[in-house]
A and B are shown apart, each in its own frame.
Chain A
C-alpha cells in the first residue's frame, strides 16, 4: 500500500546523488525485484512522480519558484504548469517503463530457473 512512498524516497535520494538517470536504475531494480507481481510498474511510476515532486518542494524552499517558472516559460515558450507536468511525467515514464521492462525480462526462464 505504501510501496510508492518507499519508491519515492529511494528515487529522491538516488536522483540527488547520481542525477536523473538514477530513476532508471531504481525502476529497473524495483521491477526486477517485484517481477512476480508484474514489477508493480504503476507503483514505481507513482513513486517516481512523488520522488521528483519531493525534490521540487525542496527546491521551492528557496522561495523563487514563481520567478523561475516565469523566466522559464518566457524563455522556452512553454506554460509554467506544462513545464511542471513535464517534469513529473518524465520520471513517471522512466519509472513505469523501466519497472515493466525489468519485470518482463526478469520473468524469462533464465532468471526463473536461477530462482
Chain B
C-alpha cells in the first residue's frame, strides 16, 4: 500500500480496494483532526500507537486464563525471570515480624532444615509459620483451597466436582465448628502466632520471591488464619478416614447376596498378624470355605450409592483400582532395648501417601530452652510437628482404617425442598447452608443449598434422603494432640496426650522413649453404636435410638506397652485379633507388609538403626512367597505336553517363577510375569462380581489366598465356559495368558525389558500436575505388598522415612522424596530424591543451641526481630 499526503493533510495516494474502508476512516479522521494540525500519516501513527499502547498495557495487566498477565509475568526485575535470583535463601538475612516477643534465630542446616531458636513458644510458632511460608507458600494455599472447596477459583469449572464434594460433605463447616470449639484453648495461641508468621512473610515478601505457581495461575496469597490450619486436618481426615470395605461388601451383595459378600469382605481378616500382639509366633491363617454365590440383594445398593453421592472421588478411585491402585498405607515399628544391639529403644516410621513435589512433609526443629525441643515433619499450614521426636520420646503413625462413618435414612417434611426432619416423632429444623462457587475471575459458577441434620450432611440418594455421621466432621482437637506430643516426656505421656485430644483420622500411634519403653495405641475416636456396634448398614434416622451413644473408652482401643515379644509393628493390618476383641476395629488392608516386618523383626534380636533402614526398602514379598507356589504347581500339572503352545508357555512360566527369589529388586525379570498373572487371576476368579463386564468390587488378595486353599470351590468355575474349572485350571489359564501378554509387551523372557525397573516406576507429580516440575519414571525397589510398596502408576509410596534411636543422646536418620524448598529452581527442590531412590537416609542434626551447627553445615541464617 502506498500512502502519501497532500499539503492539506488529505490522503492522496492510491489505496487498494480492500483497504478503502481504512482509507475512508483515516481520511475522515484526518479532516476532523486537521484543525489540530495533524497530517494523515500522523493520524495513522497516532492511531497505531494508541492501539498498540492500549493493547500492551491491557495484555500486561490483564490475565487471559490460562495465560498469566504478561507484564508482571515477563518483568525481568520482579517477574518470572527474577526467580533465578530468589531460588535459594541468602547466606544471611533478617526480617521483621509483628508481635514477636524477642529476637528469634533461624539456622538452616546443610539439608535446608530450619532450626528455630526462640525464647517463647509463641515466638517459635511465629517463626515456624514464617519459614514454612518462605519455602512452601503455594502448597499451603493450594491445600487450603482444596480443603475448602475453592479450587474452581484456580482451575475454573473443571474443578467443580471436587469442590462440591468437599463442601457437600461439610468439611469447611466442620473446620469452622472445630475452630469455634477450640478458640479459647491454650494451644490456639500457637496457631494464631503461626498465622502471624505466615502473614508477616507474605506482607514483606519481595515481589521477586512470589512462587512460580502463583505467577502461572495469576493468583496471590491470601491472608492466612488459624481456620486454614483446621481445614488441613479436615482434608487429612477425608484422605485417610474412609473405609471402602462396607461399600464393596454392599456392591458385592448386590451381585452375589449378603452371605457370600460377607465372606468375600469379612470383618475378620483371614490372615491374622495383629498390631496388638496376640502371643503368636507366626501369622495365623483362619481360612474358611467361601459360601457359594447367592441371589443378588438389591437393597444393598442404597449403601453403595451413598458413597457415590457423598464421596464420589473415593468411588472413582476404587473403580479405577486396577489401573492405579492408591496406597494410603504406612509402616511403623519399634524395638525394645532387649532386642536392640546397643540397648536403646528404636523406632521406625514411613507413612505411605501420595507422592508430590513439593512433598507433603516439611522438616523443622523448634527450640525454646527449658520448654520445647522438638524435631520432625509438619504438614505445611499445620502449626505443629506431626511425626518426630523430642529429647525424650519419638512417635509416628500408620492409618487404622476403622469404620467411623455411618449413614441414616431420614424422614423429611418435604421431599423436594426439605426444611425439617423427624426424630422420635418430632420435627427438627434442618440447618441450611448456601455454598457459592466462583471461577478464576470471580464469576459465579454454581450455587448449592446444603442440608445438615444433627448427625451431619444430608443428601438425596436413590429416592431417599440420607444423612451421614463421620468422626472427621466432629470438632476434633488434633492441634492440641500434636502440641501434647511435642511436650511429652515418655511414651506413656505421648499416648495419653494423643488419646485425650486426637479425634480423626484414627491412627496407630507408635512411640519409643529414652527410658526404653515402646508403646502403640490405635488412637482416634470410635463411635459407640447401638445394637451390634457395626456401621455397615443404613440406619433408621427417624429414631434417636439409631444414634451413636458416645465414643469408646481409651481402654478399649487396641494397644500394647512393652510387649513380651520385644517389638511392635503396624502396617495397617487389623489392629487386634478378632478372637480377643469385641466389635470390628478395621484393617481392610492386605497384611503382606505386616507379615514381612514381623518376620524380619522376629528373626533378629540384635537390631540396629542400620538394619532398620535396610528393612524400609526390603524387596522381599510375603505375598509372592504365598502365591508363587500355587502358580508353579498348577503350571507343572498343566505343562506335561510341552509340544503344545499352551504346554510350552506354562513350562516357561514354571521355569521363570520357580527360579525367582521372590524379591522385587529393580533388576529382577520375573516379577513382571507374576504381577500379570495375579492381575489375570483376580479378573478370572471374581467374574461373579462383574456387572456389564466391570467388576463392582474386588475382594482382597488375602481372601484370594483363602480361596486357593479350597481347590474345588464353585468360585473357581469360569461362568463363560461350559466346562467346570477348578483352581489349577484357572491358575494355569491365568499364567498362560500372562505369559502371552508379557511376551507381547516386553519380548523374550529375561530381556532388559522384563526388568522390574522397566515396568514399575515411581511418579512424583507436581501439585499442579505439571510434568516439567515433576519427577517422573523413577526406578524403585519394591512392588505390591513389599515394605516399600510400589503399585499402579507409582504415584503413592513412602512419603517420609525415619529411624530414631532413643539413647542418652537422640540419634535420628531420615529423608523424603523431594526437598525442603517448594521452589522448582532451588537446589533443595529435589535434592533428596537420589537418596530416597537408593533407600538411604541422612543423619539428622539435632542441636541444642545455634552454635552446635558449625559454619560448614549451615546453609543460611535468618534473624527475626520484632516489627515496631
Q: Residues of A at under 8 Å CB distance from B?
A: 15-16, 19-21, 24, 41, 52, 55-56, 58-65, 67-68, 70-76, 86-87, 90, 93-94, 96-98, 100-101, 104-105, 107-109
The yes or no answer to B317 lying at the interface (CB within 8 A) is no
Do B52 and A96 touch across chains, with their CB atoms under 8 A apart? yes
Bound-state CA distance A55–B80 (Å) is 12
Residues in B64-79 with C-beta less than 8 Å from chain A: 67, 70-72, 74-79
For A74, the chain B residues whose CB sits under 8 A away are 770-773
For B75, the chain A residues whose CB sits under 8 A away are 15, 19-20
Bound-state CA distance A68–B77 (Å) is 15
The yes or no answer to B36 lying at the interface (CB within 8 A) is yes
Bound-state CA distance A4–B429 (Å) is 74
Do A71 and B824 touch across chains, with their CB atoms under 8 A apart? yes
Dominant secondary structure at the B interface:
helix
- The segment from B83-91, B576-584, B611-619 that touches chain A is B83-91
Do B87 and A62 touch across chains, with their CB atoms under 8 A apart? yes
Do A104 and B207 touch across chains, with their CB atoms under 8 A apart? no
Q: Find the A residue at minimum CB distance from B60.
A: A20
Known interface pairs A16-B77, A71-B824; A59-B84 also in contact (CB < 8 Å): yes
Measured CB to CB, the closest approach of chain B to A75, in angstroms, equals 5
For A75, the chain B residues whose CB sits under 8 A away are 212, 216, 770, 772-773
The yes or no answer to B433 lying at the interface (CB within 8 A) is no
Do A97 and B60 touch across chains, with their CB atoms under 8 A apart? no
Which of A71, A73, A96 touches B49 (beta carbons < 8 Å)?
A96
Do A20 and B49 touch across chains, with their CB atoms under 8 A apart? no
The yes or no answer to B16 lying at the interface (CB within 8 A) is no
Which of A21, A52, A108 touches B60 (beta carbons < 8 Å)?
A21
Which of A65, A86, A105 touches B74 (beta carbons < 8 Å)?
A86
0 or 1 for each of B87-128: is its CB under 8 Å from A? (1 = yes):
100000000000000000000000000000000000000000
Do A15 and B76 touch across chains, with their CB atoms under 8 A apart? yes
Do B36 and A109 touch across chains, with their CB atoms under 8 A apart? yes
Residues in B16-52 with C-beta less than 8 Å from chain A: 36-38, 42, 45-46, 48-52
The yes or no answer to B427 lying at the interface (CB within 8 A) is no
Which of A15, A52, A62, A76 touches B84 (beta carbons < 8 Å)?
A62
Residues in B54-69 with C-beta less than 8 Å from chain A: 55-57, 60-61, 67
Dominant secondary structure at the A interface:
helix
Total residues of chain B contacting the partner, CB 8 A: 43
Do B56 and A101 touch across chains, with their CB atoms under 8 A apart? no
The yes or no answer to B551 lying at the interface (CB within 8 A) is no
Do A68 and B772 touch across chains, with their CB atoms under 8 A apart? no
A-B contact sample (18 more), CB < 8 A, given A72-B80, A101-B46: A15-B76, A19-B71, A19-B75, A20-B74, A20-B78, A52-B76, A58-B76, A59-B84, A60-B84, A62-B85, A63-B84, A68-B83, A72-B772, A86-B70, A93-B55, A97-B50, A100-B45, A100-B49
The yes or no answer to B825 lying at the interface (CB within 8 A) is yes
Q: Find the B residue at minimum CB distance from A55.
A: B76
Do A59 and B53 touch across chains, with their CB atoms under 8 A apart? no
The yes or no answer to B82 lying at the interface (CB within 8 A) is yes
Measured CB to CB, the closest approach of chain A to B590, in angstroms, equals 38
Measured CB to CB, the closest approach of chain B to A13, in angstroms, equals 10
Do B72 and A19 touch across chains, with their CB atoms under 8 A apart? yes
Measured CB to CB, the closest approach of chain A to B830, in angstroms, equals 12
Do B57 and A94 touch across chains, with their CB atoms under 8 A apart? yes
Q: Find the A residue at minimum CB distance from B770.
A: A75
Q: Residues of B at under 8 Å CB distance from A?
A: 36-38, 42, 45-46, 48-53, 55-57, 60-61, 67, 70-72, 74-85, 87, 207, 212, 216, 770-773, 824-825
Return 14 A-B CB contacts under 8 Å, by A number: A15-B77, A19-B75, A21-B61, A56-B81, A58-B76, A59-B76, A59-B82, A63-B84, A73-B772, A74-B771, A86-B70, A87-B76, A97-B48, A104-B38
Bound-state CA distance A108–B87 (Å) is 49
Q: Find the A residue at minimum CB distance from B68.
A: A76
Which are the 5 A-B pairs with shortest beta-carbon distances? A74-B772, A55-B76, A100-B49, A97-B53, A62-B84
Measured CB to CB, the closest approach of chain B to A25, in angstroms, equals 11
Q: Find the B residue at minimum CB distance from A84.
A: B81
Do B56 and A93 touch across chains, with their CB atoms under 8 A apart? yes
For A24, the chain B residues whose CB sits under 8 A away are 53, 56-57
For B37, the chain A residues whose CB sits under 8 A away are 107-109
Q: Find the B residue at minimum CB distance from A70.
A: B772
Select the residue from B45, B87, B773 with max chain A CB neighbours within 10 A. Answer: B45
Which of A52, A87, A98, A108 touches B53 (beta carbons < 8 Å)?
A98
Q: Find the A residue at minimum CB distance from B772.
A: A74
Bound-state CA distance A64–B85 (Å) is 9
Q: Find the B residue at minimum CB distance from A56.
A: B76
Which of A59, A73, A94, A108 touches B81 (beta carbons < 8 Å)?
A59
For A73, the chain B residues whose CB sits under 8 A away are 772
Do B50 and A101 touch across chains, with their CB atoms under 8 A apart? yes
Known interface pairs A19-B75, A52-B76, A56-B81; A97-B825 also in contact (CB < 8 Å): no
For B212, the chain A residues whose CB sits under 8 A away are 71, 75
Bound-state CA distance A15–B60 (Å) is 13
For A59, the chain B residues whose CB sits under 8 A away are 76, 81-82, 84-85
For B56, the chain A residues whose CB sits under 8 A away are 24, 90, 93-94, 97
For B216, the chain A residues whose CB sits under 8 A away are 75-76
For B85, the chain A residues whose CB sits under 8 A away are 58-59, 61-62
